Structure 1
């Protein structure tokens, strides 16, 4: 499945993550010939972004995929608790509008398999896996397609298209080929992922713990916890030294009920995720649009990356379908997609930076000076307001400016 039996399509999408697959599905169902190129042979990779929020669940319903998604193995969370040394606050999704008053934790490979299967039901959808993009085709200054290598056969193919959409992540090949460089915001932390057995008597839901002695996110995966331990930049090697002894001690201190089961975890069981927040000043060039992490890498704070990328895909499809049917996409239309999605991205990243500055940094650097790490202002003032959990739940569960299947995408809402 490494090559496509065509030399041209209406749109090439590079990257088979959530943004690329959703965009490919929407374009194909709109009658636009689209090729999605995924550089890996399958979706079975160690993904981190598998939090599917209510806005995306509603989109799946509109596409007639809600029941298929509901059948996937998943954990549903109606509330998330964030605990500090002096108290806790809760994100409550129980009053979200629409059919979904929860967020779903689903292995991303299952989610992508679902989208690929749905796309494959359209004759306009073409997916090539193990297909690595290594060049851009150009007509003067305008990009008019891609060159990619079929990793199964080693053969190089050229695929022309009026538009290339780069949805190939924070290490985007297309972005590098264009010479675009995102502006990065300082992130004080990285993250260590550890799989910890979950036993009867453990807490029920996913929760976040921020203390003067460390920061820990415990994600309920059913029969195990995915522990995400926050560490300072550059500390990963030290945290894994001595067969991961420091990591085991720190997790045991922040989540005492895990202490008896940490001995079996060694350095090989600890994965490192480098955190970055960045954003391109311009998300497009003639013939090319960048969306998702290729345009704006998000911190894992609040788990919004997948959903922001999906919303990018919906907005892009709504703007671009008429142009792709005409066979040419103008720079004005590409800029329109960025204008639509830029301010939700800017606001979300600003909230993430505020969170990391107010309590993540203190939990990993000892800024609290050994004193208990308190709820930051204004949360300390607002925590007794009954509406706060629901406000936080709405911001996280729906995001800033959720997108709908309106305009040229409206017929798709009937599945």
Structure 2
């Protein structure tokens, strides 16, 4: 049995950023990740300007810039009757773009940077499967070492659940999120990219589905939004035909995409009424699952981690975190979550139609706003920086100097 000041379940973006921030603040932290590495395909990988600014504050901007990535300064969303754009070129700060980078590269960078601190400990292939409790408080976790099959325990004044939309810690706490209607799911696949294909990222919203094409160099990462309950998730022929229609330049290679190449992601939007219990805090998708619309999930989770670190570091240094401090984290991040999810719900209801015979038209007021020259910049700011971006201030200020 080991002990630490904070144990984090989940080594995704939120968990790794929180671990890095706590360790650099002199707080001992152990991150338990249930997989042996970060190499998993088809994970969200849109890093927005808010996160890029954070990496600069952490002294990691140049290291991130060295990763293989696609930089997006403008996005065009095409509908059946017109287009609207997002322009990031006027964002404040150093970064006027979004970065599309494989998530495993991003997580490896965070892990390597965190490992430079003696206060950071990462244990991979360690699956959390129980909670330790004392006097009505959570005081640690039980886990299984998947390499050896042996059980282990880590005690801590605070357990943070950053273990995603299917959070084990959330289930162990008996917390149930409120779910909101999500009328679509998503089909992911790789499509070979050939010379002469367009550059950049392609977004197309139509009566038969929404298509996002991300340039990965020698292949496209394609995401096709489909209506739930239509049986399309198992219809590979329909998916290939639809993508070829929405992105005609791929039609000559769709026959090579088999059923095994198509992955299904169930889209969920939900959030907890309370993100904490005595001795435990939930952040990221464990507290609020996001739709992939606008690619905000990673960035919203990271903002949760920054807010949690800034608010909780003084208490963690003293060795006890009061419930009012955990509630402060939720109050800080509740409204950004609520507003972002509301926007996603509107978008999913109006941007992707379910009837193939009805053209998908630009919804009002977008048909009017698209004629305002400043609208692409306003939309770019909302997407690129999000609602209430977090910065390293207060107790975390020394981190900006490495």
Question: Same-fold call, TM > 0.5?
Answer: yes
Does residue 1:209 correspond to 2:209, yes or no?
Answer: no
Equivalent residue of 2:252, what SS? helix
The structure 1 residue matched to 2:380, chosen from 381, 389, 393, is: 393
- In structure 1, the residue matched to 2:263 is 271
Inter-partner Cα distance in structure 2 for 1:153 and 1:370: 56
- In structure 1, the residue matched to 2:17 is 22
Inter-partner Cα distance in structure 1 for 2:202 and 2:317: 46
Instruction: State how many pairs are aligned.
Output: 402
Inter-partner Cα distance in structure 1 for 2:55 and 2:140: 30
- In structure 1, the residue matched to 2:116 is 121
Inter-partner Cα distance in structure 2 for 1:225 and 1:126: 36
Inter-partner Cα distance in structure 1 for 2:88 and 2:329: 29
Deviation beyond 6 Å, 4+ runs, structure 1: none
Verify the 8 A CA contact 2:24 2:119 in the aligned structure 1.
Answer: yes
- In structure 1, the residue matched to 2:169 is 174
What pairs with 1:21-170 in structure 2 (closer than 5 Å)? 21-170=16-165
- In structure 1, the residue matched to 2:311 is 319
Does residue 1:408 correspond to 2:402, yes or no?
Answer: no
How far does residue 161 in structure 1 lie from its aligned partner after superposition?
A: 0.4
Inter-partner Cα distance in structure 2 for 1:170 and 1:182: 10
Deviations 1:370-410 (A, max 9, x none): 24221111100111100110011000000000000000000
Check 1:47–1:373 CA distance in 2 against 1; reply closer, same or farther (3 A cut).
closer
Is there any run of 5+ residues in structure 2 with no aligned partner, and where? none
Inter-partner Cα distance in structure 1 for 2:149 and 2:111: 24
- In structure 2, the residue matched to 1:328 is 320
Inter-partner Cα distance in structure 2 for 1:239 and 1:304: 24
Does residue 1:337 correspond to 2:324, yes or no?
Answer: no
Verify the 8 A CA contact 2:38 2:104 in the aligned structure 1.
Answer: yes
Inter-partner Cα distance in structure 1 for 2:108 and 2:399: 20
What pairs with 1:339-378 in structure 2 (closer than 5 Å)? 339-360=331-352, 362=353, 365-366=354-355, 370-378=357-365
- In structure 1, the residue matched to 2:367 is 380
Deviations 1:150-185 (A, max 9, x none): 111111111110000000000000000001000000
Instruction: Provide the aligned C-alpha RMSD in A.
Output: 1.1
Equivalent residue of 1:307, what SS? helix
Verify the 8 A CA contact 1:211 1:373 in the aligned structure 2.
Answer: yes
Inter-partner Cα distance in structure 2 for 1:259 and 1:240: 20
How far does residue 47 in structure 1 lie from its aligned partner after superposition?
A: 4.0
Deviations 1:231-285 (A, max 9, x none): 111345x4434xx211111111111111011111110110111100000000000
Deviations 1:70-125 (A, max 9, x none): 11111111111100011101111010000000000110001000000001000000
Verify the 8 A CA contact 2:392 2:399 in the aligned structure 1.
Answer: yes
Verify the 8 A CA contact 1:214 1:254 in the aligned structure 2.
Answer: no
Deviations 1:351-373 (A, max 9, x none): 0001011122x1xx11xx72422
Inter-partner Cα distance in structure 1 for 2:302 and 2:217: 26
Is there any run of 5+ residues in structure 1 with no aligned partner, and where? 1-5
Inter-partner Cα distance in structure 1 for 2:119 and 2:367: 53
